[in-house]
Amino acid sequence: MKSFTFIHTADLHLDKPVEGWRGGREQLLARREDFRRTFERIVDLANQRRAAFLFIAGDLMEHRYTGRSTVRFVMDKLEELSETTVLIAPGNHDPYRSDSWYRTERWPDHVHIFSAEWEHHFFSEYDLHVYGKGFADYEESRPSLPEVREEEGKRIMVVHGTLTEGEESSPYFPLRREALAALEIDYAALGHIHQPSTTRLSNDRGTILRYPGSPEAVRWKETGARTVTVGTVDEHGLKVETVPVHTRRCEIDRMDITGCETPEAVVRRVLETITGEEREAYRRIHFTGYRPRDWSIPIDWAIGQLREAGFHYVECVDETIPDYDLDQLRQGTGVVGVFVRRMEERIRAAEPEEQQLLKRALYKGLDALLSREVIRG
């Protein structure tokens, strides 16, 4: 058997609308370009490693949203991988529908797209059996598994789905752990879960179930380095490693600004905390703690300052609390005291989701009553 290397990725979601975007149209275009660069990096990695296979376990694109230029780009890039067999298992976001790009375009000859039925491909050069299947539509709750041939050689499965335990169900192609163990495959190249994870089954072959995670952050919570999985099969067996491929990271920061006397001090604190290459990432900064009650953070201004200081993209969320001593104000006999008591009563009685709004109203009222008062003396 000849040894070989494979790259396993999934969930790039090319051209998916960006959730919670606040950066305007121009930066949105730049973000789109990031996703393309990431795909380009995956292709370059396959070339560098002389990978025999590139497994894309679903959600490469976003059905309905992915534009023609993006498809053209993907096809052009895959053309460069003529020495690599590319196997794509469509996911729930890019199902193998009749109006899918997978079916309306002519893909390069070395690219194979799995249909909605289980397929088996044998690569004699590597003594490798590959089983794959794609989503037929946006949801697929009926579980199924391939008929694995009782033949020698390595076995790899490429599929998009959700790992489940026991009788647990899922609309996104449930893959029962116990059933998978019975198949005795060597490596399951999975997709759907955006956080990378590896599970090793305790069967004869010690099946590795691997989610490589999204190679570029699709949501804010996908922070840190984003990777693909590189597998090597040789006489010693199967080895996997993770390789970062992201173009830009997404990071969420919580910045306590207590003690900052001015908005400028807030910006200074951010600049002191986040430096160098960290500013290249997409960052969402939550300002927390107490702030003086006579000003609030001008968010647009702060973003402008940070961008001038070299932040590639930054969003600011003001979660600070104005510095009011509610214990003292509550005890007052006048309007302020009564207002605080009433508001606190209302907050206590409210549903959790409404409490935030009521707290905001409390501080708005206090701002109106107290923040503009003239301090006598």
Q: Which of 194, 188, 185, 199 is nearest to 231 (CA)?
A: 188
Q: How far is the CB of 88 from another protein (least distance, A)?
A: 16
Structure tokens at 247: 């173009």
Task: Determine contact, residues 5/240, Cβ cutoff 8 Å.
Answer: no
Q: Is 352 in the site for another protein (CB under 8 A)?
A: no
Q: Is 139 in the site for another protein (CB under 8 A)?
A: no
- Parallel/antiparallel/unpaired status of strands 208-211 and 197-200: antiparallel
Q: Is 338 in the site for another protein (CB under 8 A)?
A: yes
Region binding another protein by CB under 8 A among candidate stretches 1-9, 218-226, 280-288, 337-345 = 337-345
Q: What is the side-by-side order of every strand in the sheet holding 85-88? A: 111-113, 85-88, 53-56, 4-9, 227-234, 237-244
CB of 195 or CB of 328, closer to another protein: 328
Q: Which of 295, 288, 345, 337 is nearest to 317 (CA)?
A: 288
CB of 181 or CB of 370, closer to another protein: 370
Q: How far is the CB of 279 from another protein (least distance, A)?
A: 23
Give the CA dihedral 267, 268, 274, 276, nearest 10 degrees.
110
d(CA 200, CA 98): 36
Q: Which of residues 181-200 bind another protein (CB under 8 A)?
A: none
Among positions 142, 236, 348, 376, the unique one binding another protein when judged by CB under 8 A: 376
End-to-end Cα spacing for the chain: 91
Q: Which of residues 210-269 bind another protein (CB under 8 A)?
A: 258-259
Count CA within 13 A, CB hemisphere, residue 85: 16
CB of 92 or CB of 162, closer to another protein: 92
CA 59 centroid distance within chain? 12
Among positions 65, 73, 123, 295, the unique one binding another protein when judged by CB under 8 A: 65
d(CA 182, CA 191): 20
d(CA 60, CA 226): 15
Q: Which of residues 269-328 bind another protein (CB under 8 A)?
A: 290, 292-293, 323-325, 327-328
Task: Determine contact, residues 256/288, Cβ cutoff 8 Å.
Answer: yes
* H or E, element range at 26: helix 24-48
Give the CA dihedral 70, 74, 80, 84, nearest 10 degrees.
180
Among positions 3, 104, 141, 169, the unique one binding another protein when judged by CB under 8 A: 104
Q: Is 54 in the site for another protein (CB under 8 A)?
A: no
Q: How far is the CB of 345 from another protein (least distance, A)?
A: 10
Q: Which of 44, 9, 58 is nearest to 229 (CA)?
A: 9
Q: How far is the CB of 307 from another protein (least distance, A)?
A: 17
Region binding another protein by CB under 8 A among candidate stretches 118-126, 170-178, 217-225, 368-376 = 368-376
CB of 61 or CB of 86, closer to another protein: 61
Per-residue contact flags (x/-) with another protein for residues 68 to 87, judged by CB under 8 A: x-------------------
Q: How far is the CB of 38 from another protein (least distance, A)?
A: 16
**Residues that contact another protein, how many (by CB under 8 A):** 62
CB of 276 or CB of 334, closer to another protein: 334
Q: Which of residues 31-50 bind another protein (CB under 8 A)?
A: 32
DSSP for 139-187, please give it. Answer: -B-S-------S-SSEEEEEEE-EEE-TT---SB-EEEHHHHHHH--SE
Residues that bind another protein (CB under 8 A): 15-22, 24-25, 28-29, 32, 62, 64-68, 98-100, 103-106, 258-259, 290, 292-293, 323-325, 327-329, 331-336, 338-339, 342-343, 346, 357-358, 360-362, 364-365, 368-370, 372, 375-377
